[in-house]
Amino acid sequence: MNVVGIITARDNSSRLPGKMLADIHGKTMLQRVIDAVSKCGVHRVVVATSDESPRIIKYCKDNHIDYHVGSDSNILKRIYRCAKAYEAEWIVRVWGDCPLLEPDSINTMLHRAIIKNQGYTYNSGSKGKTVSIFPFRALDILNNCLNKHERYRYNEIDEHSVWRTYFGNTKVEQPDDGIDYSVDTQEDLDRIRELWAK
């Protein structure tokens, strides 16, 4: 069974441009995410980026990291084509601005999702430590069900609601310590660097 970790990453963040390649104690933020996902029981890790992110593309090329270039604005289309290109049977989808993911927690979710053959699994808990897991068959159906307008709006509406509408979903409850572990601003990046140093 081919399980692919797909990291969505763009270089054109409006609040913190270039954040994916920001340094966090000797490694880029993107590399920190790649390292974490690599420990989650996946067979391959792929960065799903866009043609408007040349620095990320170059970074992946230079470091022999699997990547896929897709739509900048349509994230569902980008994930779908990436998963199809790498013949994924199951997808672990994470965001590239979450460098403090917990591999053991994700691995437990993945095992449960595959054993129960769930359509869509996601976790609650602290922002920046959430992931979603789903089979390619569900992604394929979703991509075909949504019309073009809805597909482009996928970025603007709650992802869990979209999946719930078509498949139902499974929420894995995890603790929320009130700390934001994602990186959207320079202040966030400074906080993550401090946490990493502890």
Along the chain (198 residues), what's the average pLDDT of each consecutive run of 10 residues?
A: 95 88 97 96 96 96 98 89 96 95 91 85 88 90 75 63 74 86 95 90
| Predicted local distance difference test score (pLDDT) of residue 101 | 94
Q: Give the number of domains in the chain.
A: 1
| Predicted local distance difference test score (pLDDT) of residue 73 | 83
| Predicted local distance difference test score (pLDDT) of residue 149 | 64
Outline where the chain has alpha helix (H): 29-38, 54-62, 75-85, 103-116, 136-145, 148-153, 159-166, 186-197
Instruction: Count helices and strands (H / E) in the chain.
Output: 8, 9
Q: Hey, CA dihedral for 98, 169, 159, 86, is it positive or negative? A: positive
> 64: buried, middle or exposed (CB in 10 Å: 19+, 13-18, 0-12)?
exposed
Q: Hey, CA dihedral for 194, 31, 86, 74, is it positive or negative? A: positive
pTM greater than 0.75 (yes/no): yes
Q: Which residues contact residue 96 at a Cβ distance below 8 angstroms, ignoring those fewer than 6 apart?
A: 7, 8, 9, 10, 20, 29, 30, 33, 47
Q: Which two tokens stand for residue 35?
A: 């390292």
How far is residue 8 from each of residues 20, 92, 149, measured CA to CA in Å? 10, 11, 21
| Predicted local distance difference test score (pLDDT) of residue 164 | 73
CATH number, domain containing residue 188: 3.90.550.10
Note whether 49 and 69 are within 8 A (CB).
Answer: yes
| Predicted local distance difference test score (pLDDT) of residue 118 | 80
| Predicted local distance difference test score (pLDDT) of residue 154 | 65
| Predicted local distance difference test score (pLDDT) of residue 158 | 65
| Predicted local distance difference test score (pLDDT) of residue 153 | 63
Domain that includes residue 147, residue range: 3-197
